[in-house]
Structure 1
């Protein structure tokens, strides 16, 4: 832990994650997803600005949909806002203009097989894979929102070609103070929910989720190829050969 203790946080938020779970596995874990099965492409280095599988409350129970990572508030004129709102602090989300409406009525779960954080030392940005000790899926608390396109001529990148009036569904991941498992790597971590919390988080009156207790997460350095989001394959999960 010597060199790790001397390192500096290289990322202030949850900015990449692994989502290799299948719809069928989620259907079993949640005791039944509603809606048609969704073919999920395994993602090993999912980055902001991309689509991810998100679980929301449906009329007949939880359902899974693909949403854009990076919340765009309904009042935003520029979709570039999404790249600034990939995370929301759970301590203040209920009051922030960008998140307070979602906090009251549009909460979600983001299934993940792990997430990445970074430390930096000696000019090297070292990625870490954080996941459950038993490698079971994590469920991250999130908020989602609808954004209606009003000025299609200003759109570019992944939104290019969209038409006026179209709606884009987006989400953000809630973060909280890091627990003992990960605090040496980053002072923040995603809000992680347990199965007994799923229904109340999705459907009941909003309340701040309980902090995840330490002793449940593992941390492992992985290869620096994770630093490039274009690398998105199982090799991203391989341990690095050395520890900073």
Structure 2
């Protein structure tokens, strides 16, 4: 699973460079992500999506927990911040997003914990060179039924992270890991002209194995739910 991750404000420059190279940057482009080193489900997360309507790539903030448009509330009765890759198209919550609403969720790294309850050890996984990480994700626009149809605040972008069985190098820490896509697969994954199916998800999982196997694994100091700051991802002496 992936229940906590970090993203600093360097993503504003990095994603601008990536999108500019594609030639598909919209005229109004002003990424304004603020660093957060303890991002939890239901908080805002940075996502890259491909707009089928305009043909532009969009860097957006999304509510971390996918909420289908048919839901009456933004809070689901079951957790939707992760989506298991196995048999994903058999689940009604994920089926339509897989088809055409796929996203890249941007991160500097993610956390997992080991040990007994009450004295767990946190670990931070990141790319060895500190580069931007892109998780395979899904998104959905949720309309607030309590707001008028023409209210610009009616729609909330929501998203989830796709996970797979853990690679061997991470198995001692957790039995699941996010599907981490190489940068050269980002546009392929989010292309709305490609009708997503289980085969596409399986392709992403296979591509993500090599990425996950090379991750740097650092023990970091224990922290609380409300803590934040770059010190959270700083390795401690072991």
TM-score > 0.5, shorter chain as reference: yes
2:140 aligned to which of 138, 141, 145: 145
1:181 aligned to which of 169, 176, 185: 169
2:209 aligned to which of 212, 216, 232: 212
User: Alpha carbon RMSD of aligned pairs, Å?
Assistant: 1.9
* Deviation readout 1:176-198 (Å, 9 max, x if unpaired): 11112211100100011112211
* 1:133 matches 2:121: no
Report the CA distance between 1:75 and its aligned residue: 1.7
Q: Structure 1 residues 83 and 54, CA, compared in 2 at 3 Å: closer, same or farther?
A: farther
- 1:25 is matched with 14
* Deviation readout 1:158-193 (Å, 9 max, x if unpaired): xxxxx4551211000000111122111001000111
Q: Structure 1 residues 104 and 124, CA, compared in 2 at 3 Å: closer, same or farther?
A: same
Report the CA distance between 1:233 and its aligned residue: 0.6
Distance across 2 between alignment mates of 1:149 and 1:60: 26
* Deviation readout 1:207-244 (Å, 9 max, x if unpaired): 1212422541011111111xx231111111122355xx
Report the CA distance between 1:144 and its aligned residue: 0.3
1:52 aligned to which of 13, 37, 45: 45
Unaligned ranges ≥5, structure 2: none
Unaligned ranges ≥5, structure 1: 1-12, 153-162
Superposition TM-score, scaled by structure 2 size: 0.84
Count of paired positions: 217
- 2:92 is matched with 97
Report the CA distance between 1:66 and its aligned residue: 0.8
- 1:158 is matched with none
- 2:225 is matched with 229
Native 8 Å contact 1:17 1:112 kept in 2: yes
SS at match of 2:185: helix
Distance across 2 between alignment mates of 1:122 and 1:241: 22
SS at match of 1:239: coil
Q: How does 1:2-17 map to 2 (within 5 A)?
A: 13-17=1-5
Superposition TM-score, scaled by structure 1 size: 0.82
